[in-house]
Amino acid sequence: MKDTKVNAAILIIGNEILSGRTQDTNTSTLATWLNSIGVKVKEVRVIPDIEKTIVDTLNVLRKENDYVFTTGGIGPTHDDITAESVSKAFGLKYEIHKEGYKILESYYKPGEFNEGRQKMIWMPENAELILNPTSGAPGFSVENVFCLPGVPSIMKSMLGGITNKIVGGEPILSKTISLKTVESEIANSLTKVQDNNKDVEIGSYPFFHAGKLGVSIVLRSENQSKIDECNIQILKFVNEKKIEVVER
Amino acid sequence: MKDTKVNAAILIIGNEILSGRTQDTNTSTLATWLNSIGVKVKEVRVIPDIEKTIVDTLNVLRKENDYVFTTGGIGPTHDDITAESVSKAFGLKYEIHKEGYKILESYYKPGEFNEGRQKMIWMPENAELILNPTSGAPGFSVENVFCLPGVPSIMKSMLGGITNKIVGGEPILSKTISLKTVESEIANSLTKVQDNNKDVEIGSYPFFHAGKLGVSIVLRSENQSKIDECNIQILKFVNEKKIEVVER
């Protein structure tokens, strides 16, 4: 299957995801946004708050991907070590970001910009800020690595500010066909359609929802006409097999 | 910080997670279960349905970890390539599993055990079955790699059947202290407590929930008395700073 030109990795940094305490939702938010601007997520990794792990993983991912998006570890506490780790990964100084300092100095009331809060604007030298419309403290980017906070609502609010920094390919389009059937009934026919349509990624996902049981077939491609052609071929065998198409 | 003796990686296989279409919840289910039996999750990776990627990633993870748990890609359709990929990773034949065949033959009504369904019992030679109390088709394990389905309810129902195959260390205990404060107010004090308690992993997580804003401090260790000691030291500075402890 042809790969898209622009790809990304997502690096979720945080013990709380690995322990199962916190359910990650940033992957799905980031992936949906990236798809919409023509960037395909090739890989996601979740790693602990350990400096060597962050440095080593980042140095692999940033060379293998057009973009890397990290979430987590940029707050004021001892377990927030992303900015320092990114500095080490790039061999850059870890220092106070002057523009970031001014932003937070005016964000907080006089006297409130304490040492804890100042930690949040220690960054790799010459990092570019990612503005935070929700809670002040900015994220940052270095080359192709974009560092965002872990709190989902804050993370999401910062994506609008970086969309113009990401050069994507064609948006990845998708179509879902949901059927009242089971996968084994359509497996052979679907394999034939996939073989005849190499440029469309065809996924098959059973669902159990509100008492309904079925299969969602998802077609993904940058090319709408190829999706349409594939859709026609699927509906053809669906009709022949007298399978009901359902809303999902 | 001392690492626990027994660790695992989770490998989520599926384009639907990388596209953002499906929100992964298997990580959190698996991690919570593993913690309870004394296994620490060191890393999670999400990768696409591409054979070479599955083979290469699995061959890294199974050597670096005591256990690897995969989810996804063991159904009957063309995009279900986990079993064949695992066979290649281990250099094993990919063949019909005789015991699995018998299980599915008696699970389905006469005539219903078609070619699509038979694909689900093609496995690496001599794989051990993981029984499926929900929907028949078993998972399997080879050495330290356990392959489970992607549908969360089915995956979860199969864990009970493999608990006795996993040799964990001491269960990882945790305690959460939730405070009506912001992270920057406690960052310095918390750093001191972490420095004095190297065997306890201390995480700090801001929350915004039902209009309440606060910070949850999570203490994790195999040793309850070390957690208790750490808790005392945290409550000491919390009292001194007149910070309110809240329910979360």
- A43 exposure class (CB count in 10 Å sphere: 0-12, 13-18, 19+): buried
Beta-carbon contacts of A51 under 8 Å, excluding residues fewer than 6 positions away, are A81, A84, A85, A88
Q: Do domains B7-165 and B173-246 have the same CATH topology?
A: no
Assign A3 a pLDDT band (cuts: 50, 70, 90): low
**Rounded CA gap, A245 and B18, in Å?**
26
Q: Which two tokens stand for residue B197?
A: 């308690």
Q: Which residue of A has its CA nearest to B191?
A: A78
Q: A173-246, what's its fold?
A: Alpha-Beta Plaits (3.30.70)
What integer best gives the mean pLDDT of chain A?
94
Smallest CA–CA distance, residue B136 to chain A, in Å, is 13
Which chain B residues have a beta carbon less than 8 Å from that of A191? Answer: 77-78
More confident residue, B196 or A4: B196
Contact assignment for A78 to B20 by CB distance below 8 Å: no
Assign B3 a pLDDT band (cuts: 50, 70, 90): low
**What ranges make up the beta strands (E) of chain B?**
7-13, 40-47, 67-71, 94-96, 122-124, 128-132, 136-142, 145-148, 173-180, 201-209, 212-221, 244-246
Smallest CA–CA distance, residue A104 to chain B, in Å, is 13
Task: Tell me what the mean pLDDT of segment B33-40 comes to.
Answer: 94
Q: Are A82 and A72 in contact (CB under 8 A)?
A: yes
Establish if B205 touches chain A: CB-CB under 8 angstroms.
yes
pLDDT at position A181 is 94
Residue numbers of B between 60 and 119 with CB closer than 8 Å to A: 75-80, 114-117, 119
A141 bridge partner residues: A128, A146
pLDDT by residue (tens digit) across B68-113?
999 999 999 999 999 999 999 999 999 999 999 999 999 999 888 9
Assign A82 a pLDDT band (cuts: 50, 70, 90): very high
Task: Tell me what the mean pLDDT of segment B165-180 comes to.
Answer: 93
Contact assignment for A78 to B204 by CB distance below 8 Å: yes
For B179, the 3-state DSSP assignment is strand
Q: B7-165, what's its fold?
A: Molybdenum Cofactor Biosythetic Enzyme; Chain A (3.40.980)
pLDDT by residue (tens digit) across A46-58?
999 999 999 999 9
pLDDT at position B79 is 94
Establish if A245 touches chain B: CB-CB under 8 angstroms.
no
Contact assignment for B119 to A24 by CB distance below 8 Å: no
Kindly report the backbone phi and psi dihedral angles of residue A78, in degrees, each rounded to the nearest multiple of 5, phi listed first. Answer: -60, -25
More confident residue, B208 or B138: B138
Which chain B residues have a beta carbon less than 8 Å from that of A21? Answer: 174, 218
**Rounded CA gap, B77 and B84, in Å?**
13
Does residue A2 register a pLDDT over 80?
no
The closest of A198, A196, A155, A193 to A32, measured between CA atoms, is A155
**Looking at this predicted complex, what is its ipTM?**
0.93
pLDDT by residue (tens digit) across A9-59?
999 999 999 999 999 999 999 999 999 999 999 999 999 999 999 999 999
pLDDT at position A167 is 95
pLDDT at position B2 is 43
Establish if A230 touches chain B: CB-CB under 8 angstroms.
no
Q: Are A79 and A85 in contact (CB under 8 A)?
A: no
**Rounded CA gap, A113 and A116, in Å?**
8
pLDDT by residue (tens digit) across A188-202?
999 999 999 999 999
Torsion of the alpha carbons at A161, A8, B67 and A151, rounded to the nearest 10:
0
Give the pairing type, strands A7-13 and A40-47.
parallel
Instruction: State which amino acid sits at residue A130.
Output: I
Does residue A215 register a pLDDT over 50?
yes
Does residue B237 register a pLDDT over 70?
yes
Q: Are B86 and B144 in contact (CB under 8 A)?
A: no
Assign B66 a pLDDT band (cuts: 50, 70, 90): very high
Does residue A1 register a pLDDT over 50?
no
Q: Are A13 and A7 in contact (CB under 8 A)?
A: no
Q: Where do the structural domains in chain B lie, given as residue ranges?
A: 7-165, 173-246
What integer best gives the mean pLDDT of chain B?
94
